[in-house]
């Protein structure tokens, strides 16, 4: 049972344009969401996160939008750069009160290719 889904295995965009990566989740207990970027032969790198009490969080070229009613989040990258080419993972967590149990449930990733 895949609780976090990234339905697009790959996405190709032109340099300078917007990249939109999508993620859906099924578990209503998830209340914190993160995006990680991964280059080959490296570990995932934290990009940006959003708490379920917000619907948008922005950090430079990266913006994450959360639609709780649709159980959907998206990552916007504007403008896209060739160095953004990587696998992007969506992850979700359920913050358990009284503990520091913040395990992440990951989607399978989307390979973003930004063409010069």
Interface with other proteins (CB under 8 A): 4, 32, 34, 36, 41-46, 49, 51, 89, 91, 93, 95, 98-109
Helix (H, G, I), strand (E, B) or coil at 95: coil
Q: How far is the CB of 102 from other proteins (least distance, A)?
A: 6
Residue 25 has phi, psi (to 5 degrees) of -135, 160
Nearer to other proteins, 3 or 74 (CB): 3
> For the purposes of burial, counting CB atoms within 10 Å of the CB of 23, is it exposed (0-12), middle (13-18) or buried (19 or more)?
buried
Nearer to other proteins, 17 or 108 (CB): 108
Nearer to other proteins, 26 or 115 (CB): 26
Q: How far is the CB of 100 from other proteins (least distance, A)?
A: 5
Q: How far is the CB of 17 from other proteins (least distance, A)?
A: 27
Cis ω for the linkage preceding 78 (within 30 of 0): no
Distance CA 27, CA 116 (A): 38
Distance CA 85, CA 100 (A): 33
Q: How far is the CB of 116 from other proteins (least distance, A)?
A: 27
């Amino acid at each position: 049972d895949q609780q976090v889904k990234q339905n697009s295995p790959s996405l190709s965009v032109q340099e300078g344009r917007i990249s939109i990566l999508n993620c859906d989740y099924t578990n209503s207990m998830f209340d914190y969401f993160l995006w990680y970027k991964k280059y080959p032969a490296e570990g995932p790198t934290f990009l940006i996160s959003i708490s379920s009490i917000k619907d948008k969080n922005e950090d430079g070229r990266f913006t994450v939008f959360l639609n709780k009613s649709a159980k959907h989040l998206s990552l916007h990258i504007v403008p896209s750069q060739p160095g953004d080419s990587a696998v992007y993972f969506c992850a979700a967590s359920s913050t358990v009160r009284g503990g520091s149990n913040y395990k992440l449930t990951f989607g399978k990733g989307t390979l973003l290719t930004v063409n010069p």
